[in-house]
Chains A and B, each alone.
Chain A
Amino acid sequence: MISAPVTNLPEGANTAEHVMVPACAVADLPEGESFRIPGEVPIAVFNADGEIYAIDDTCSHQDASLSEGWLEGCFVECPLHAASFDLRTGMPTCLPAKKPVRTHPVVVQDGMVHVVVRNQEAVA
């Protein structure tokens, strides 16, 4: 994955610590769809009723890809054990997950969805 230098970060972000990772074209992410950015720490991007969210893709319970989960409102249900996460906070809303997944800011620029990740997580 190629990381671009950050030019337009949400408030509070810092260019030295963050990089903007391009995910996909906005047009390729219609409502209810998801996109997975592969890498050492894969990230899942969702279009939940028009709002775009990014969280860590791997379920905090066991090895499963949340981008393949069931999206309902701003919650995603893990496809393996049905743990559910709030895309806004990363918090699990039911068992078996007990730990949150990390959330990442999203920037839409020139028709592209970018995810802002902390530098050390950026995957070259």
Chain B
Amino acid sequence: MRSVVVVGASLAGMRAVEELRAQGFDGRISVVGEEPYLPYDRPPLSKAYLMGTCSPESLALADEPALDELAAEWHLGVRADSLDPGTRSVRLSDGREVTADGVVIATGGLARRLPGTGEERPAGVHTVRTFDDAVALRADLEDHDSARVVVIGAGWIGAEVASTCRALGHPVTIVEGDTAPLARALGPTMAEVCTSLHADHGVGLRTGVGVESITSSGFGPWKRVTGVVLDDGSHVPADVVVVGIGIRPATDWLAGSGIPVDNGVLCDSGCVTVFPSVVAVGDVARYHGPRGPVRHEHWTNASEQAATAVRNLLAGTTVEEYRPSGYFWSDQYGVRLQVTGHPADAEEVTVVDGSPEGRRFVAEYRRAGSTVGVLAMNNPKLFGRLRRQMRAGTAQGSGV
């Protein structure tokens, strides 16, 4: 293999480039990125960057000497429009074509939008996925001093954005279709803890109710959001609306390529597609885990998957299976939440240290007597220990 093209200048794409070099690949590396930026770190976009406490420069995933050392060609601000896996050529939106011996798909996902919040959405309606998204939201909040913010979706991004907007002094209401925030991810007991976090900080929470439509006033470029109509008929006034309802994997460009796509790029247990010279990493990769096809949308996964995918790409076959650490974290309302494993699978959850009321605790999720997940708030030390114990346990046992 003498050349590799990485599609997606994301964390996963960047890690793939780093892994290629770390694993001794000295051929040509081309990276295609739709955004006009070198790879940057997304987690701060909903927190420190939105808050105004970190600079754009600090988001960079690599500084200049590191980039020089990686010696990759960067095609930024161009989209990959199609892939021919047979010739491994990627057609770009500016008409050029990049051909290589190996392809790493790292195109991530696109923020899901509600009907009426797409391209023609009124001003004041935002998502937070890209750097440009965060810049636009931050500017909007700065321009509208006491803007009432409605966050649609009480997931991780929604909670973090709500927390930051609140810290900036905005009145905030969250609208969540489920019965409680993160109820499916963390179970009802811990969802209650999340509910109380929002309440503690004066953030309104409307649960069990969907969004019917976005209301706006004005015309053309002056059209601006005025609120959100819920499916119980009520209207929540808003000057800024943030839609945080997840992502859909960015696979449209692979249509007709012959690479099987179903809620992500389908891969084997080692992140290899049906073509041994095409692998996928990060949010877009739906690999075959011990319990069936699975896709993760977390920083740690995007960071870890590259090592396995690149090893298999360079080997020309799947020589290593991907084993996720299944870890992620969230900083909100001044607390740090850390999660590992599969809390959603648990039959019971037990607080094993501290207390939720004290905002410092560790909870274990158990199923059939064994630990399947751990959630910690402000206790990284014990979390780290239990996370290791659980990982050691699953290594001998049933798999992740």
Q: Which residues of A contact B (CB under 8 A)?
A: 62, 64-65, 68-70, 77, 79-82, 95-96, 98
Taking a contact as CB atoms under 8 Å apart, the answer to whether B384 and A70 are in contact is yes
Taking a contact as CB atoms under 8 Å apart, the answer to whether A79 and B303 are in contact is no
26 A-B interface contacts by CB (under 8 A): A64-B380, A68-B380, A68-B381, A68-B384, A69-B380, A69-B381, A69-B384, A70-B384, A70-B385, A70-B388, A77-B384, A79-B338, A79-B380, A79-B381, A79-B383, A79-B384, A80-B329, A80-B336, A82-B300, A82-B325, A95-B18, A95-B303, A96-B61, A96-B303, A98-B63, A98-B66
Give B293-314 as 1s and 0s: 1 = Cβ < 8 Å from A's Cβ atoms: 0000001100100000000000
A sample of 17 more A-B contacts (CB under 8 A), given A70-B385, A80-B380, A96-B303, is A64-B380, A65-B380, A69-B384, A70-B384, A70-B388, A79-B380, A79-B381, A79-B383, A80-B336, A81-B300, A81-B303, A82-B300, A95-B15, A95-B18, A95-B303, A96-B61, A98-B62
- CB neighbours (8 Å) of A80 from chain B are 329, 336, 380
Q: How far is the CB of A44 from chain B (nearest CB, A)?
A: 12
Q: How far is the CB of B305 from chain A (nearest CB, A)?
A: 13
Which residues of chain B in 1-26 are interfacial with respect to chain A, using CB atoms and an 8 Å cutoff?
A: 15, 18
For the complex, what is the distance from the CA of A65 to the CA of B338, rounded to whole Å? Answer: 14
Contact residues on B (Cβ < 8 Å of other chain), bracket:
20 to 34
Q: Which residues of B contact A (CB under 8 A)?
A: 15, 18, 44, 61-63, 66, 299-300, 303, 325, 329, 336, 338, 380-381, 383-385, 388
**Which chain B residue has the least Cβ–Cβ distance from A70?**
B384
Q: How far is the CB of A46 from chain B (nearest CB, A)?
A: 12
For the complex, what is the distance from the CA of A70 to the CA of B384, rounded to whole Å? Answer: 7
- CB neighbours (8 Å) of B63 from chain A are 98
- CB neighbours (8 Å) of A82 from chain B are 300, 325
- CB neighbours (8 Å) of B15 from chain A are 95
**Which chain B residue has the least Cβ–Cβ distance from A34?**
B381
> Secondary structure of the A side of the interface?
loop
Q: How far is the CB of B354 from chain A (nearest CB, A)?
A: 14
Q: How far is the CB of A71 from chain B (nearest CB, A)?
A: 10
- CB neighbours (8 Å) of B338 from chain A are 79
- CB neighbours (8 Å) of B384 from chain A are 68-70, 77, 79
Q: Which of A68, A79, A81 has the most CB of B within 10 A?
A: A79
Q: Which of B61, B62, B384, B385 has the most CB of A within 10 A?
A: B384
- CB neighbours (8 Å) of B385 from chain A are 70
For the complex, what is the distance from the CA of A98 to the CA of B41, rounded to whole Å? Answer: 14
For the complex, what is the distance from the CA of A81 to the CA of B310, rounded to whole Å? Answer: 21
- CB neighbours (8 Å) of B61 from chain A are 96
Q: How far is the CB of B314 from chain A (nearest CB, A)?
A: 19
Q: Which of B18, B303, B380 has the most CB of A within 10 A?
A: B380
For the complex, what is the distance from the CA of A62 to the CA of B299, rounded to whole Å? Answer: 14
Q: How far is the CB of A75 from chain B (nearest CB, A)?
A: 14
8 closest A-B pairs by CB: A79-B380, A68-B381, A68-B380, A70-B384, A79-B384, A80-B329, A79-B381, A98-B66
Q: How far is the CB of B47 from chain A (nearest CB, A)?
A: 10
**Which chain A residue has the least Cβ–Cβ distance from B299?**
A81
For the complex, what is the distance from the CA of A70 to the CA of B381, rounded to whole Å? Answer: 7
**Which chain A residue has the least Cβ–Cβ distance from B43?**
A62
- CB neighbours (8 Å) of A69 from chain B are 380-381, 384
For the complex, what is the distance from the CA of A79 to the CA of B382, rounded to whole Å? Answer: 10
**Which chain B residue has the least Cβ–Cβ distance from A69?**
B384
For the complex, what is the distance from the CA of A69 to the CA of B338, rounded to whole Å? Answer: 13
Q: How far is the CB of B371 from chain A (nearest CB, A)?
A: 18
Q: How far is the CB of A72 from chain B (nearest CB, A)?
A: 10
For the complex, what is the distance from the CA of A79 to the CA of B336, rounded to whole Å? Answer: 11
- CB neighbours (8 Å) of A64 from chain B are 380
- CB neighbours (8 Å) of B336 from chain A are 80
**Which chain B residue has the least Cβ–Cβ distance from A98?**
B66
**Which chain B residue has the least Cβ–Cβ distance from A67?**
B381
- CB neighbours (8 Å) of A70 from chain B are 384-385, 388
**Which chain B residue has the least Cβ–Cβ distance from A96?**
B303
**Which chain A residue has the least Cβ–Cβ distance from B383?**
A79
- CB neighbours (8 Å) of A77 from chain B are 384
- CB neighbours (8 Å) of A65 from chain B are 380
For the complex, what is the distance from the CA of A98 to the CA of B385, rounded to whole Å? Answer: 24
For the complex, what is the distance from the CA of A98 to the CA of B60, rounded to whole Å? Answer: 12
Q: How far is the CB of A49 from chain B (nearest CB, A)?
A: 18
Q: How far is the CB of A83 from chain B (nearest CB, A)?
A: 11
